[in-house]
Every structure is written in structure tokens, then in C-alpha cells.
Amino acid sequence: MHTTFQSIAPGRVHRWGGAVLTVARRPDLQQTPPLSPAEQRVVHALPAWRQAEWMAGRLLAKRLVGEVLAAPAEDVEILPRDDGSPYVGVGGSPVPDLNVSISHTAGHVAAALAGVPVGVDLCETASAPAVRRVADHALSPGELSLVGAHRADALVGSWALKEAAVKADRSGIFGAAPRCIAILGLRPPVLSGRRSAMVWQAGGAVLALVLAPLPWQHCVGAPRVAGSCLSEEPLAQLARAR
């Protein structure tokens, strides 16, 4: 079946635009991750139905951090900030130059790391009817016309793009924030505000990745990726420094 987006292989580490990311099927993440006392307090405060997906997301993200920083999984913490966004700690100390984003659905989990603000989001293609009912909350009439609401994968891909973008901005999908980020193109994805974006088909879900430039970033001497100024150097330098 033809899909709007290229496929991404689950269970592998992928690199795109200076970020590393991975996606996995939920049934493949049954192992309980090593949790610090602070992480245990967070998960025990969640409703029972949320605990399994929270731990699956942390397991995948800890594996990714471990690969990038060569750190044992038991030394990696992923804790929420006051605004709910996650941050990485290793050996009890925050790693401020490493940004993390996590997403999960009933069938899939994804995690991404970058040296710039990053957002990752998954949306199951089967969720298209639910997305269609609330699409005008996040998508303008022009964006809905661009997307073509009859295509389920394009519709959930545009929703995932908005979700990933507000995560990178450390805001939320509810409220005015999604309307402040314009989708200018879908294949390839182009967003306003010098953000870089990519969308993939991940089995029965669509996966979106958004990178937002740091305030001080300029385009001098940096390669352009989908209209932004991003390189793989921040992650590479961080890995070498540890």
C-alpha cells in the first residue's frame, strides 16, 4: 500500500539532522528499566494504566542515552522538569547539553536525543478518525487543505508534527501553541520558525521528529538541513567529552 512517508525500521538507532532516534514496538519492551529512587517516585505517582507505557518509554530512552554517552543504563535518569518535559541525568548530575523527547502509543514507543531542543511524537494511523474530530484545534483551514483530510497517514502525520513541534518548544498541544507553528509542506515536511522536521511511517504508526534551533544559532559555517542550521557536532562533542 502506498504511504505518504518513507518507512523507518524499528529496533535500530537512526541519525537525522544532528539527532539520534529509535522506535520500537511496545511488545518488544516488556523489560523493566533500572529506575533511580527519584524515577520510582515518579512512576508510583502515575495511574496504573500509565505506568507500563511510562516505563517502556524510559527503557527505550535510557538505551539510547547509553549508546550515545557510553553510560550504563543504571546510571541514566530521565526525570520531568516542572513543565513536565523530560531531561537527562547521568550519575546523579543533569546533562544540560543533551535534550530528550519520548513518545508512546498503544503499539509503539519512540525516543530522540539532540544537542538542540527536540520533539518526537507517534500517532497510530488507526487514530485518524479521532484526529479528524479535533484537527481544527491544531490545524488551520489552510493546513487541513494542504494535508488532505481524506488521507489517514497524512492527517495523523500532520498531528504528530504539531505535537513534536510543541514538545521541542516545551509547550503543549492544548492551547494556542500549535496554531503558532505553521506546516508549510508535508512531503518533505517544512515548518515555520527555522525548525527542521521529518516524518516516517513506523509500522502502523506515523513518527514525527522536530528540531528547534537554539536562540544563539546562526547559519554561518553550519550545514543546512531542511531549512535549518543543524549539524551532528553537538552530540558528537558531548559523547567525546564524557
Structural contact between residues 119 and 167, judged by C-beta atoms closer than 8 angstroms: yes
> Rounded to a whole number, what is the distance in angstroms from the first to the last CA of the chain?
45
Q: State the fold for domain 14-241.
A: Ribosomal Protein L22; Chain A (3.90.470)
What CA–CA distance (Å, rounded) separates 36 from 55? 12
Distance from chain centroid for Cα 94:
20
Query: Could you say which DSSP state residue 87 is in?
Result: E
Does position 102 have pLDDT exceeding 50, yes or no? yes
What CA–CA distance (Å, rounded) separates 157 from 77? 30
Does position 217 have pLDDT exceeding 90, yes or no? no
Mean pLDDT across 114-121? 96
Does position 131 have pLDDT exceeding 70, yes or no? yes
Provide the pLDDT confidence category of residue 42 given band limits of 50, 70 and 90: very high
pLDDT for 3 equals: 64
The radius of gyration of the chain's CA atoms, rounded to the nearest angstrom, is: 17
Decide: helix, strand or coil at residue 217: coil
pLDDT for 149 equals: 62
pLDDT for 212 equals: 93
Of 1-5, 40-44, 119-123, the one with minimum mean pLDDT is 1-5
Does position 228 have pLDDT exceeding 70, yes or no? no
Distance from chain centroid for Cα 195:
13
In this structure, the dihedral spanned by the alpha carbons of residues 238, 10, 198 and 66, taken in order and rounded to 10 degrees, is: -10
Per-residue pLDDT tens for 151-198? 899 999 999 999 999 999 998 888 888 889 999 999 899 999 999 999
How many residues are given for the chain? 242
- What ranges do the domains of the chain cover? 14-241
Sign of CA dihedral 162, 209, 29, 7: positive
What CA–CA distance (Å, rounded) separates 211 from 117? 6
pLDDT for 168 equals: 95
What CA–CA distance (Å, rounded) separates 230 from 228? 6
Q: What is the mean pLDDT of the chain?
A: 86
Does position 235 have pLDDT exceeding 60, yes or no? no
Per-residue pLDDT tens for 5-18? 999 999 999 999 99
What CA–CA distance (Å, rounded) separates 158 from 193? 16
